[in-house]
């Protein structure tokens, strides 16, 4: 399979320099400072998954920070992937509640830009960039996790569109958002990588049911998404019929190279740093220092991925390595916080004790979602041993 290329940023984009990126970074910091003062938010780990706040998302949208790297011609800000990295780094480091728009901004918007018809782009991109169109991912099923091509949700042709039936699982925030991206099987044949189609489904359409799944902490973000003969008009097919596999693997490769694969637990690391004082032992300092060093390298890797995308490349291998290494780091932050801080985890407590508890129970998901570490290492090994 040839490596796909990302859609380049809009050709009418302003020239990106270190200065423009630094200015953007400061703007985001200023916004966060204001938001903290006026609304307050409690920084938490994994905020891009768990911090759902539509008002916050709309405020970001007003400043042009959702869809920042989508071309201006379709309603984005036309800036670089590096610009998106700068914005997302600041939001994630602050533990800000970005979950509502995250999927739309990270992958569905870019997928629509890349493969959507002009009508679909006109219908959705402005509403994604305004923070109004919010998406959940109808990808995984009980029998199709890492093996995404094994999806059984079916799409059958109907008059002027399709009827979709099936059950999706692990669909975060399906209970909140207005749209679902759905990957379904549109035809069967010898090659199961053919015959998949991507759809945009209205959450309010007849036949759509959402059932909550509580996670280890008793939090509700996961859901089952039941689709019973749901009608989807032809205009809401994303890209080409039966071309879904090529399209979705492109989504996945971009999903892996972002700052959220490194910074999910930064709020916890920041708290640890704040608490380290003169009584810290040499061993404690060395352990925390190692984390800081690894963080800097991982940030550089994420910047290299963004630069690659800005140059029109699709750095799938680098993104896989980054996701593997970054999520291991995220987990290590939690382990080090426990070891070094001598603070017992206390669910719901304010400060470090609560954050450690949160981190411990969030951690198992890091290396599973968006491509398990086992899958990533398999991809890397195959590339090396070709």
298 touching other proteins, by CB under 8 A: yes
**Which run of H or E residues covers position 386?**
none
Cα separation, 299 vs 297, in Å, equals: 5
**Which run of H or E residues covers position 351?**
helix 351-362
Of 55, 178, 296, 364, the one binding other proteins (CB under 8 A) is 296
SS3 content of the chain, % helix, strand, coil (to 5): 50, 15, 35
Of 7, 301, 341, 345, the one binding other proteins (CB under 8 A) is 301
Cα separation, 371 vs 261, in Å, equals: 11
Q: How many CB atoms lie within 10 A of CB 263?
A: 30
Tokens 């980054």 belong to 322
Of 270, 349, 353, 368, the one binding other proteins (CB under 8 A) is 270
Residue closer to other proteins by CB (options 135, 324) is: 324
| List of E strands, 249-329 | none
**Shortest approach of other proteins to residue 299 CB, angstroms?**
7
User: In this structure, are residues 62 and 47 in contact, taking their beta carbons and an 8 Å threshold?
Assistant: no
Helix (H, G, I), strand (E, B) or coil at 157: strand
**Shortest approach of other proteins to residue 270 CB, angstroms?**
4
Of 59, 241, 276, 353, the one binding other proteins (CB under 8 A) is 276
Tell me whether strands 220-233 and 179-185 are parallel, antiparallel or unpaired: unpaired
Residue closer to other proteins by CB (options 190, 282) is: 282
For residues 97-156, which are near other proteins according to CB under 8 A? none
Residue closer to other proteins by CB (options 12, 277) is: 277
**Shortest approach of other proteins to residue 296 CB, angstroms?**
4
CA within 13 Å, CB half, 228 = 7
Q: Considering only the stretches 71-79, 107-115, 163-171, 262-270, report the one whose residues sit in contact with other proteins under the rule CB under 8 A.
A: 262-270
Q: Considering only the stretches 8-16, 60-68, 87-95, 158-166, report the one whose residues sit in contact with other proteins under the rule CB under 8 A.
A: 87-95
Q: Considering only the stretches 96-104, 132-140, 147-155, 317-325, report the one whose residues sit in contact with other proteins under the rule CB under 8 A.
A: 317-325
Q: Considering only the stretches 60-68, 74-82, 229-237, 273-281, report the one whose residues sit in contact with other proteins under the rule CB under 8 A.
A: 273-281
Of 353, 322, 350, 333, residue with least CA distance to 266 = 333
Residue closer to other proteins by CB (options 213, 276) is: 276
User: In this structure, are residues 169 and 142 in contact, taking their beta carbons and an 8 Å threshold?
Assistant: yes
Question: How is residue 292 annotated by DSSP?
Answer: H
CA 351, 354, 360, 366 dihedral sign is negative
Q: Considering only the stretches 63-71, 161-169, 346-354, 371-379, report the one whose residues sit in contact with other proteins under the rule CB under 8 A.
A: 371-379
**Which run of H or E residues covers position 218?**
none
Of 38, 191, 274, 342, the one binding other proteins (CB under 8 A) is 274
Site residues, other proteins (CB under 8 A):
25, 29, 43, 89, 93-94, 266-267, 270-271, 273-274, 276-277, 280, 282, 284-290, 292-301, 304, 317-318, 321-322, 324-325, 376-378, 380-381, 383-385
């Amino acid at each position: 399979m040839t490596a796909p290329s990302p859609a380049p940023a809009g050709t009418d984009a302003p020239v990106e320099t270190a200065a423009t990126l630094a200015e953007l970074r400061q703007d985001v910091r200023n916004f966060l400072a204001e938001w903290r003062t006026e609304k307050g938010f409690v920084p938490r780990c994994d905020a891009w998954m768990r911090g759902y706040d539509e008002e916050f998302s709309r405020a970001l949208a007003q400043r042009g920070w959702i869809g920042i790297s989508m071309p201006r011609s379709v309603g984005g800000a036309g800036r670089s992937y590096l610009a998106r990295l700068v914005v997302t780094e600041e939001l994630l480091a602050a533990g800000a509640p970005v979950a509502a728009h995250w999927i739309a901004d990270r992958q569905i918007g870019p997928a629509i830009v890349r493969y959507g018809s002009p009508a679909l782009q006109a219908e959705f991109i402005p509403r994604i960039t305004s923070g109004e169109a919010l998406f959940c991912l109808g990808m995984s099923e009980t029998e199709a996790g890492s093996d995404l091509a094994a999806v059984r949700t079916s799409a059958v042709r109907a008059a002027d569109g399709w009827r979709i039936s099936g059950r999706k699982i692990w669909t975060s925030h399906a209970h909140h958002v207005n749209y679902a991206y759905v990957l379904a099987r549109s035809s069967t044949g010898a090659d199961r990588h053919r015959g998949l189609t991507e759809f945009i489904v209205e959450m309010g359409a007849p036949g759509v049911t959402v059932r909550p799944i509580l996670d280890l902490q008793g939090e509700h973000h996961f859901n089952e998404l039941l689709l019973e003969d749901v009608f989807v008009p032809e205009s809401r097919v994303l890209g080409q019929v039966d071309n879904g596999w090529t399209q979705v693997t492109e989504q996945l490769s971009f999903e892996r190279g972002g700052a959220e694969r490194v910074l999910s637990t930064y709020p916890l690391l920041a708290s640890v740093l704040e608490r380290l004082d003169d009584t810290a032992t040499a061993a404690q300092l060395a352990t925390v220092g190692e984390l800081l060093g690894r963080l800097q390298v991982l940030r550089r890797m994420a910047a290299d991925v963004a630069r690659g995308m800005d140059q029109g490349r699709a750095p799938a291998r680098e993104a896989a390595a980054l996701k593997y290494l970054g999520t291991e780091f995220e987990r290590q932050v939690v382990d080090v916080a426990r070891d070094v801080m001598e603070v017992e985890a206390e669910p719901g407590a304010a400060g470090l004790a609560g954050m450690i508890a949160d981190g411990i129970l969030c951690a198992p998901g890091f290396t599973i979602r968006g491509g398990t570490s086992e899958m990533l290492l398999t991809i890397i090994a195959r590339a090396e041993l070709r």
